[in-house]
Amino acid sequence: MNHYYESPLSSRYASDYMLRLFSPETRTLTWRKLWVSLAKAEMELGLPITREQVDELAAHVTDIDDECIRQREKEVRHDVMAHVYAFGKAAPSAAGIIHLGATSCYVTDNADLILYRDGLRYLRGELLKVIANLTDFAQQYKALPTLGYTHYQPAQLVTVGKRAALWLQDFLSDLDEIDFAISNIHFLGCRGTTGTEASFVELFEGDTEKIDQMNHLIASDFGFSSCFDVCGQTYPRKVDSRILNCLSSIAQSCHRMASDIRLLQHDRQIEEPFEKNQIGSSAMAYKRNPMRSERICSLARYLMADAMNAPMTASTQWLERTLDDSANRRISMPEGFLCADAILRLTQNVTDGLHVNEKVIEKTVREFMPFMATENLLMEAVKRGGDRQQLHEIIRKCSMEATAKMKNGETCDLLARLAAESAFGLSEGEMNELLEPSLYIGRCAEQVDALAAKIQPLLKGIDRSNAQISL
């Protein structure tokens, strides 16, 4: 039994990849790789740093003494300088040139940008798996008529696949946003205390071209093609805002889809996966609750709220640097990524095993089909010489009467009522011929095919294995 609080995101929901990405070990290793890259670039550009010193730093990147770091931070009250000290102890010949010309944000901010970029790339792959699942589902059920709902009241027919296409379109929008966010993450580089690069002007004796070369070399080491044009001590915190807004957008799409599934599972039209030995309720053993969809909605609300941290932080940065962003970002940014990861894992699981109860859907459609067909019935009656306005009033009156009977638990007798009206000129049998559901779905199947054709190029070569949900 653990006696200390542990985030459920790490203990229950997030993937191993995301937990490792934002682990203290990965952060420390990234800081050390940044120091190695800085030393190497400075050496190559003529500063008095030897190859032996660079090699020693590189050889001891993974030689991490956690206890030494903790004790040193207690003494100096500065996390970066505690790490510099411990790295210097591991590589003593290079201790004197670690962090040369840099400020703390060189490692903290550049490391964050690396982690966020890699996290977004991973989430992009997870989002594509959801898109792949839903594309298959939409195409499979593109022509299956189902009752549409507006205001959660019975409306004109759509298809099961067309409804999934609505979810798909939201996720495609999220994919666009995540691609934009990735493409607009630039490197901070090594800019010194207030972003002026003054320390490097001194170190390179006024040769500013070498400063640009240094930043390009370091950025290239970590897969970045460019640095921000200007900055203070930190990279612009609007980057964080853009990233969390992107993650929030994913949460919104997942929440909307999961909410629809929860509504449809109410009368068993569609059901999320349910394990053989799964218990729906501790008291009501018959229950089959949409637990995973509910969890998606729950976590999505957290992520949408978490996204508010970034704009509030970005809007309150003072001049070239303030530290009131630090404690907030340590929590809000990793938790945002872990939460988005958890939501997408759940969404993969749900979309990979959605169960469509076609007989239930057919029964629901048939129940309301007479009402859905009234416009077509009216048109047919007009063709046979009826008065449109008179027929419209007959339909309204008969519909109200049929609905009243249904509210008493009786079956719908709308067609019989309409057939009894001589002005209608249609028998009940003739009306039934006009009640084929496939006649009322418009271009649903065509719309699904068009969207799927747009999506298919995006799915080439993706890993289609979905996350397994153990809890």
| Tens digits of residue pLDDT in 439-450 | 899 999 999 999
Residue 395 maps to a domain: yes
89 and 176 inside one domain: no
In angstroms, the CA 141 to CA 134 distance is: 11
Which residue among the candidates 151, 266, 465, 470 is catalytic per the annotation?
151
86 and 112 inside one domain: no
Residue 296 maps to a domain: yes
Please count the other Cβ atoms lying within 10 Å of the Cβ belonging to residue 266: 9
390 and 335 inside one domain: no
Domain that holds residue 430: 374-434
How many domains does the chain contain in total? Answer: 3
> What's the mean per-residue pLDDT of the chain?
92
Q: How far apart are the first and last CA of the chain?
A: 18
* DSSP conformation letters of 43-87: HHTT-S--HHHHHHHHHTTT---HHHHHHHHHHHS-HHHHHHHHH
Provide the pLDDT for residue 280: 56
276 and 129 inside one domain: yes
In angstroms, the CA 411 to CA 272 distance is: 30
> Does the annotation mark 151 as catalytic?
yes
Instruction: Give tens-digit pLDDT for 313-355.
Output: 988 888 888 888 888 899 999 999 999 999 999 999 999 999 9
145 and 275 inside one domain: yes
How much of the chain exceeds pLDDT 90, in percent? 70
Which residue among the candidates 23, 220, 226, 281 is catalytic per the annotation?
281
197 and 269 inside one domain: yes
> Tokens 């704009």 — which residue?
311
112 and 93 inside one domain: no
Domain harbouring 72, CATH code? 1.10.275.10
Nearest alpha carbon to residue 191 among 221, 234, 237, 224: 234
Instruction: Give tens-digit pLDDT for 95-133.
Output: 999 999 999 999 999 999 999 999 999 999 999 999 999
Please count the other Cβ atoms lying within 10 Å of the Cβ belonging to residue 429: 9
> Does the annotation mark 253 as catalytic?
no
Instruction: Give tens-digit pLDDT for 185-209.
Output: 999 999 888 888 999 899 999 999 9
Residue 172 maps to a domain: yes
Residue 177 maps to a domain: yes
260 and 392 inside one domain: no
